[in-house]
Chains A and B, each alone.
Chain A
Amino acid sequence: MKKELGIFVLLIVLCIIVSAINPNFLLAINLQNLARQIGAFGIFSIGLGLVIITGGIELSVGSMMALLGVLLSMMLTEWKLGVVIAVLACMGLAMLLSLGHGLLITRLNMQPFIVTLCGLLFYRGLARFITKDETKGFGTVAGLDFLRFLANGNLLGIPMPFVLLIIISAITWVALHRSVYGRYLFATGRNPEAARYAGINTKQIVTLTYVISGALTAISGIIFAFYTNSVSPANHGNAYELYGIAAAVLGGCSLRGGEGSVVGILIGTALLQVLRNLVNLLGIPSSLDFAVMGAVILIGVMADQIFTERRNRRQVAVMRETTAR
């Protein structure tokens, strides 16, 4: 928990600074909007975080969302499929594609970066091809109220994506930090060889994690599609995987694997969205958007690295004292 504390303090300090300079930050409408963004980005970021804990990476998130978005639109508006079927098809497709990633990575020993980079290119291209590069929307099709509510509605004033994020986080938290699956995941990510020698089916654990990530990407994807209400196959979800990776890394996930926490990923996501909001509110040219984020992530990760090393040194010192006796 110590690890998350540092970044949490950073988040709070940032919020205080922004609200001091521009009190509009604290307006209900701004906070609601912020929470909605955090919800939508947080859901797939948790999936990506899990993948990162396996020691892998998932780069195809944004493209997959574009593909799912245009397919959802086509299923509902052009093929006139039922809402339930369309949603299930989206989820199923995302999980199937991710299963493919997982199998290529674990069975053929391909590198996650390469497999998912190909996914990134392939799904984007596919999305553009099947739509002939035309933007897809949902028009006035009836029966989509619930999906629209998921993306744009509020529950007791709290945006639905945020509510969903909380529910999903709670489930993932138990799975990651309290269940056998989570322990296996950390073991596999940290030292796959030792995990195998302990009898853990590491291939299964890794594959399962990609599938979970796919499912969470699909949920986020559906929310984004209805949030923007139109899906441009060339731009929708562009670089979203980078937001997810940044959130996970900021939140203490190590790209070496075997490290990270749900709370950390949540705080990381929140921090990124506050940064985007800050650029807006403080009148910083929006072209500097990415530069600000890059700088803050770098500082955050740097600080964390320094703290970790100090802590390790302290533990070694304690051990020395106990053995010196």
Chain B
Amino acid sequence: MTASTPILEMEGVSKRFPGVVALDQVSLTVGTGEIVALIGENGAGKSTLMKILGGAISRDAGTVKIDGRPVEIRSPREASALGIEFIHQELSVLDNLDVAANIFLHREPTTGGWLKLIDRKRVYREADELLRKTGLDLPSRTPLGQLSLAQQQLVEIARALGTGARIIIMDEPTSSLTLTETRRLLEIVKDLRAQNVSVIYISHRMHEVEEIADRAVVLRDGKNAGEIAGGEITHERMVRMMVGRDLKEFFKGPRGNGTVKANEGFEVRRLRTLRYPQHRISFNVGKGEVLGFAGLVGAGRSEVARAIFGVEEAIESEVALNGQTLHIDDPQDAITHGIYLVPEDRRLNGLIVDFNVRENISLPNLDSYSSAKIINRAKEAKAALDACKAINIKTPTPEMRAANLSGGNQQKVVLAKWLTFSPRVLIFDEPTRGIDVGAKAEIYELIRKLAAEGVSVIVISSEMEEVLGLSDRIAVMHEGRLTGILERAQFSEEAVMRLATGTDT
């Protein structure tokens, strides 16, 4: 399927960020009309490589060739001019405009000469046309804010189609889609191939890659880890190449026995979140147990975590620790009871990135380093230094701004905050997102160690391997509903996906 001259050649591409080498001499070749799956763990460098191709960030070294000619892509606009379109993992649509305006953003057909009035008739007609192509059955005048996450994703695809792109980059396009929507998307991708459009497809869903990819390129720790040709793509081969070692080694830590005793551990009863008020969530986590939370993006897992921690109001909830009902109105209450949250968005909620490591670690526990409300700097600095040593936070000094640390070390700072207390319940929301493999293994080890010490741990994760490898039991959610809790014996990727996509009920 590869044509004689590849449409895209990236060679020896390197990129360094403060605190981390994101890409080290990475190469990627894509043929015309070829679907190349770019796979690797979180933090392997896939997104960085694609951002370089999309013109969002600059490379430190290496060459990029389109049709055999070297090019410099300095902005998304230049990428677009070269026929490269990027469909982002984080939606980049504007919810204050309608669907058509989003599809034609920045390339609106105009009329009226120098007046540059938007040719509304054409915009809506062509937008409707593009929507039909993506199988999205709604008028393009609909305000985008009314669309579901999945529909918004399709709007992004319609936008890319409309530009007549030759290379379309899809970064986790199915992470928020249901099975039916995923099927439709895969058909669209195949259609694109038939029209000689090249697709770079980034996904964690191995069976999708198996189905559509002509070739899989694997990245690990910012380097090329290998390639697998179309017919030979299997789940096992990909995972082995991605992780670089046997998975079992990764998750070898001690496990709890998985039994839950009455009046011990943590219990949530009839929790209703603001986002999904129609569903009641009940579950429990034993002392020393790790309960995984699986589901698609937007399934309502983070909302549950935030409601438990009191940072988001719950319509109704009952929370009990060791049989004793607790009253949690705000995070202060949760913290008092030994319930802590390591939030999904480190930089927004977990840390104050402009604070240094010491100030971040001491923030929730300041009172214990102060007398008469005056902070004892020596005490505070010592506690921070001890915390850095205890969980191996790599920073020259605790006085370093948190913003300059790598993702893995930032995550450890967030965790260190809570370890200065003695946690009883720890909730991790996507604990290893954007973290390199080494730091990941350390975080897993910490989670298992905390569980072994008797902490009730909840791990929300969208990474299948992580959820399966780390949990004693797995709770699965779909569109705000708890669709099932799997015991160890029932663990399998298929079982989780069935519950996560709501096809079982």
Contacts and interface: CB of A to CB of B under 8 A. Distances in A.
Interface of A: 174, 178-181, 183-184, 186-187, 190-191, 193-201, 258, 315-316, 318-320, 322-323
A89 to B, nearest CB: 29
Contacts of B462: none
Given A179-B375, A187-B352, A200 B18 contact: no
Contacts of B21: 323
B400 A197 contact: no
Contacts of B467: none
Contacts of A186: 355
* 7 nearest A-B residue pairs (beta carbon): A199-B335, A198-B364, A319-B404, A198-B363, A191-B352, A199-B331, A319-B18
A1 to B, nearest CB: 14
Interface string B34-46: 0000000000000
Contact of B370 (A180, A187, A258, A315): A180
Contacts of B353: 191
Contact of B373 (A180, A195, A200, A323): A180
Given A180-B373, A319-B18, A197 B404 contact: no
B237 to A, nearest CB: 32
B343 interface: yes
Given A190-B352, A315-B404, A316-B18, A183 B367 contact: no
Contacts of B400: 315, 319
A258 to B, nearest CB: 7
Given A183-B359, A258-B354, 13 more contacts: A180-B366, A180-B367, A180-B373, A181-B373, A187-B363, A195-B352, A195-B363, A196-B311, A197-B309, A199-B332, A319-B19, A320-B18, A323-B20
A201 B352 contact: no
A322 B396 contact: yes
Contacts of B349: 193-194, 197
B348 A193 contact: yes
Query: Among the interface residues A174, A191, A323, which one has the most CB atoms of the partner chain B within 10 A?
Result: A323
B374 A174 contact: yes
Contacts of B364: 198-200
Contacts of A318: 396
A201 B336 CA distance: 13
A276 B341 CA distance: 52
Contacts of B359: 183, 187
B366 A183 contact: yes
A199 B331 CA distance: 5
Contact of B332 (A180, A201, A258): A201
Interface string B325-340: 0000011101100000
Contact of B330 (A178, A181, A201, A320): A201
Contacts of A184: 366
Contacts of B363: 183, 187, 195, 198, 200
A179 B374 contact: yes
B7 interface: no
Given A180-B370, A193-B349, A320-B18, A187 B401 contact: no
B375 A178 contact: yes
Given A197-B341, A199-B335, A323-B19, A191 B348 contact: yes
A315 B397 CA distance: 12
B483 interface: no
A197 B332 contact: no
Nearest to B400: A319
Contact of B348 (A194, A258, A316): A194
Interface in B240-298: none
Nearest to B363: A198
9 contacts: A180-B366, A183-B366, A183-B375, A191-B348, A193-B348, A195-B363, A197-B341, A198-B331, A318-B396
Contacts of B19: 319-320, 323
Contacts of B406: 323
Interface in B362-383: 363-364, 366-367, 370, 373-375
B350 A194 contact: yes
